[in-house]
Amino acid sequence: MNYNFQDKVALITGATSGIGLATALRFAECGARVALLDQHTTLPFSARNQFEKYGTDFHLFQCNVTNEKEVSGCVNLVVRRFGRLDFAFNSAGVGGEFATVQEYPTDDWDFVMNVNLKGTFLSMKYEIPAIIKSGGGAIVNCASLLSLVAYENDSAYVASKFGVLGLTKNAALEYASTSLRINAISPGFTRTPMIDKGNDDKLRQIAARHPIGRVAAPEEIANGVLWLCSDQATFAVGLNLLLDGGYTIQ
């Protein structure tokens, strides 16, 4: 489905790779102008070509979502450059180490919580007033199927994503009566650099845990984000849109 996001501005964190990049491209395809925020300053060549093909304005801003000054400065820059902000998709995230709780390195725990949970909090903190000032819109936070179920040896990631879901519901409640809707999306395992480390056996094992028999393509998750931002989802508030190929029905 193609939405008409002409005259809209979408901000995406974690936008140079994976689900964030696929979502940024879908927004551009639907006519939105796109602000790409990422710690990295290079966009894959093919993605740059694709944005240019869609012909909408886009700009990459360097931003570490764990740094409050950078996040607030970047959101200001986005509004100054594009004149408004309508949608935000907070996709920046990291996977972290695999270890039991008692062996989990505390520095790695802090790192995962900082990027996934604090980064989402900081992003919303500055996106919310910018979107409300522009007349309203939508925020989607990237949670995970691991915001609902556990995954062995992955405590920091799982705790951070349970946190993202709680944070999303709280923010959704606080702004439900305004023109801003806040929701979460929870992808199943998705073929991005986060899980695709070139080990096909491992990927096959992960795919087999999904009743659908495969992992998601980033574009399948992007479609859910666009729906949550669209006028088709005007009654969705604090929703966790679970796109997990049946992983959690077992």
Ligand X SMILES: NC(=O)c1ccc[n+]([C@@H]2O[C@H](COP(=O)([O-])OP(=O)(O)OC[C@H]3O[C@@H](n4cnc5c(N)ncnc54)[C@H](O)[C@@H]3O)[C@@H](O)[C@H]2O)c1
**Catalytic center residues:** 157
Helix/strand/coil (H, E, C) string of 76-135?
A: HHHHHHHCCCCEEEECCCCCCCCECHHHCCHHHHHHHHHHHHHHHHHHHHHHHHHHHHCC
Q: Judged by CB under 6 A, which stretch of 46-54, 58-66, 80-88, 174-182 contacts ligand X?
A: 58-66
CB 192 to ligand X: min, Å: 3
Closer of 152 and 231 to ligand X (Cβ): 152
Q: Which is nearer to ligand X, 163 or 187 (CB)?
A: 187
Residues 6+ apart with CB under 8 A from 12: 20, 21, 23, 24, 27, 34, 35, 36, 37, 88, 89, 91
Q: Which of 23, 144, 168, 183 binds ligand X (CB under 6 A)?
A: 144
Residue 38 in contact with ligand X, rule: CB under 6 A = yes
**Alpha-carbon distances, residue 37 vs 77, 88, 129, 234 (angstroms):** 11, 11, 18, 26
Q: Tell me the closest approach of the beta carbon of residue 106 to ligand X, in angstroms.
A: 18
CA torsion through residues 191, 224, 16, 91, sign: negative
148 binds ligand X (CB under 6 A): no
Helix (H) or strand (E) holding 226: helix 218-229
- For residue 241, state whether it binds ligand X (rule: CB under 6 A): no
Distance CA(93)–CA(154), nearest Å, equals 14
Token pair listed for 155: 């405590």
**Is residue 24 part of the contact set for ligand X (CB under 6 A)?**
no
Please return the burial class of 103, using the count of CB atoms within 10 Å of its CB with bins 0-12, 13-18 and 19+: exposed
Give the nearer residue to ligand X in terms of CB position, either 94 or 132.
94
Distance between CA atoms of residues 93 and 8, nearest Å: 25
Residue 16 contacts ligand X per CB under 6 A: yes
161 contacts 116 by C-beta, under 8 angstroms: yes
Site for ligand X contains 18 (CB under 6 A):
yes
Binding characters for ligand X, 158-197, by CB under 6 A (x = yes): -----------------------------x-xx-xxxx--
When the beta carbons of 176 and 212 are compared against ligand X, the nearer one is 212
Q: Considering the complex, what minimum distance in angstroms separates the CB of residue 178 from ligand X?
A: 25
> Per-residue x/- mask for ligand X, residues 79 to 118, rule CB under 6 A?
------------xxxx--------------------x---
Interface ranges with ligand X (CB under 6 A): 13-14, 16-20, 38-40, 63-66, 91-94, 115, 119, 142, 144, 187, 189-190, 192-195
